[in-house]
Amino acid sequence: MPAPQHCPSPRELDDLEVLLSGALAPRTSFDDEVRLELPDDLAAQVGAGGEVELVDPEGLPLALYSREHLLPLARAAYGPFRRLQATPARIREEHPDALVVPVTAPLGEGALRLVAERAGAREVVLLTLSGTGTPQGVSPVGLVRATLAAARVLEASGTTAQVVVVPLAARGDADLDHRLGHDVVSAYAAGEVLGLPGEDTEDDWPAEVAAVVEQDQPDDEHVGVVVLFTGLSGSGKSTIARALHDLLLEDGRRTVTSLDGDVVRRHLSKGLGFSREDRETNIARIGWVAAEIARHRGVALASPIAPFDATRQQVRAMVEDAGGELVLVHVATPLEECERRDRKGLYARARRGEIPDFTGISSPYEEPQDADVVVDTTGRTIEDCLAEVVAALPFELPSSVGPAPSVEPAPSVEPVETR
């Protein structure tokens, strides 16, 4: 019977690559420090002496894991700058006399002068540690691009430089990260290692490096944004979201995508019901799509009820991992007002038990404690409420959308499908 499969997290996939390369020798598998978190059933199977097949997000088997071993099955075929990855054994063999320079942040002119002076006639290996959470001030891919730019600066000054990428992930423990980094550098360096002092500031970056960082880390006017509206059915979420959508289109400087609950239910989440599990799956799908929009520096507007804090936190993590910014808007219109607006009688049906798992009646709504904006739409205009949301955006936008009609939702604003 084949071993069950498990796709590790991005950090764990980085760890897997580093372990299989031999860069953490004598450590050859996951342990209490370089951890692999398995679901309870798979952890029990491994604990009983069984195996688990570790796969990449596309299902490619990478390794077979048990308590006794971590056996490689295949090397991941895709990923940016994979051609710059190599095993420690290969680098030590091909560059035995090179000056090895660990890189965890973009290199400035002062650092590059120091590298050139120390290297003399020797080749330089810029050992770029660019795993999940490792780079300082740039994305992992951005750090590699910035290091390639720094290598070109060194080459122009007469110093031969080779960039080698190691996906060493950070785990939030400074001492452990330092020890693991030391182990990796020692594994790759056959000769001298040059540790650079501190992090260079942008004022010291060569123009080529600065251009890479600027592109990788856009300012507030260009960062991807997800605006997540959460609140009870009938609170006015979709009304404000549509007004913001119109305003962004009128402004014209940002691409904008509306992930309205109704539309999502008809397409992305077709077939899901309204159980807690299905509702959380619906929000997770919305969050994933929104994060991808933010990754490409667009603006996504989502207006599901999103009643559970854990799922909202999951969305926040996806957006932030994609390099975007989440603006959480709690449309905190009271239940009584939402019921008063309910022209379809959904709340009344829910109170009679005809609609199960209805948020605010038979299913809880967990009010967010981390909202960027809290808006009660009772008796207020769309323009008035919208201005509060616009003020919380990380980029400038005019708050006027023309006349200010009542925020009272039309009958189709919060249909049952959006629960």
Count of beta carbons in the 10 Å neighbourhood of residue 314: 16
Chain segment 17-43, per-residue pLDDT in tens: 999 999 999 999 999 999 999 999 999
Residue 398: per-residue pLDDT: 65
Chain segment 227-266, per-residue pLDDT in tens: 999 999 999 998 999 999 989 988 888 899 998 766 787 7
Residue 378: per-residue pLDDT: 93
Residue 61: per-residue pLDDT: 94
Residue 415: per-residue pLDDT: 35
pLDDT level of residue 219 (50, 70, 90 thresholds): confident
Chain segment 80-91, per-residue pLDDT in tens: 898 999 999 999
User: Is 90 exceeded by the pLDDT of residue 323?
Assistant: no
pTM of the model: 0.69
Please state, rounded to an integer, the average pLDDT across all residues of the chain.
Answer: 89
Section 114-133 average pLDDT: 94
Q: Which of 64-73, 175-184, 350-359, 403-412 has the lowest mean pLDDT?
A: 403-412
Higher pLDDT, 325 or 253: 325
Inter-CA distances, 134 with 143, 149, 176, 181, 239, Å: 10, 19, 13, 10, 41
Residue 410: per-residue pLDDT: 37
User: Is 80 exceeded by the pLDDT of residue 417?
Assistant: no
Residue 65: per-residue pLDDT: 97
User: Is 60 exceeded by the pLDDT of residue 48?
Assistant: yes
Contact 330, 374 (CB under 8 A): yes
Residue 362: per-residue pLDDT: 92
User: Is 50 exceeded by the pLDDT of residue 414?
Assistant: no
Higher pLDDT, 220 or 152: 152
Section 330-338 average pLDDT: 95
Residue 199: per-residue pLDDT: 65
5-6: strand order across its sheet: 5-6, 52-55, 61-65, 70-72
User: Is 70 exceeded by the pLDDT of residue 182?
Assistant: yes
User: Is 90 exceeded by the pLDDT of residue 129?
Assistant: yes
